[in-house]
């Protein structure tokens, strides 16, 4: 069954998130759910992903939302607050709307860790988030 999936992508750390996007798009195409450019929505940072994901989930136009971002620790506690807000916010979107909003937001301590998770290989977390969205839809369809 083909699903209509939207992607929400953060521009912050764009060199990393662009790799996540490529992984997610490849995974969704391989699973028969290719994403049109018009269904890719950019936000400034991970903190903004839940708001746009919820609007998409409530629109009735999409079966699932894949959310991509990269939060990389800096000098302050900002990393913790953004990471938790994005994780909690996206979980709330899924639970409140019934539309899976998968968590493809890297939360790494170093840039090296982030780049190791956005390359064109099996470690790509964009692929993982895309797969999780499709597989959550399959589970929901059985209920």
Ligand X SMILES: CC(=O)[C@@H](O)COP(=O)(O)O
Please say whether the beta carbons of 49 and 84 come within 8 A: no
Q: Which stretch binds ligand LW54GNZ2 (CB under 6 A): 10-18, 22-30, 87-95, 116-124?
A: 10-18
Candidates 8, 21, 65, 82; binder of ligand LW54GNZ2 (CB under 6 A) is 82
- Does the protein bind ligand X through residue 79 (CB under 6 A)? yes
88 part of the active site: no
Binder of residue 76, out of ligand LW54GNZ2, ligand X, none (CB less than 5 to 8 A by kind): ligand X
What does the binding site for ligand LW54GNZ2 look like in residue numbers (CB under 6 A)?
10, 12-13, 44-48, 69-72, 78, 82
């Amino acid at each position: 069954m083909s699903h209509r999936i939207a992607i929400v992508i953060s521009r912050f750390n764009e060199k990393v998130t662009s790799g996540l996007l490529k992984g997610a798009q490849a995974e969704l195409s391989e699973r028969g759910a290719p994403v049109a450019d018009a269904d890719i929505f950019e936000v400034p940072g991970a903190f903004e992903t839940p708001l746009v994901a919820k609007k998409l989930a409530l629109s009735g136009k999409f079966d699932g939302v894949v959310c991509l971002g990269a939060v990389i620790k800096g000098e302050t506690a900002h990393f913790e607050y953004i990471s938790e807000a994005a994780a909690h916010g996206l979980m709330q979107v899924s639970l409140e709307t019934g539309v899976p909003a998968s968590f493809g937001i890297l939360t790494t301590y170093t840039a090296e860790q982030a780049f190791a998770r956005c390359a064109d290989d099996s470690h790509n977390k964009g692929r993982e988030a895309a797969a999780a969205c499709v597989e959550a839809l399959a589970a929901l369809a059985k209920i």
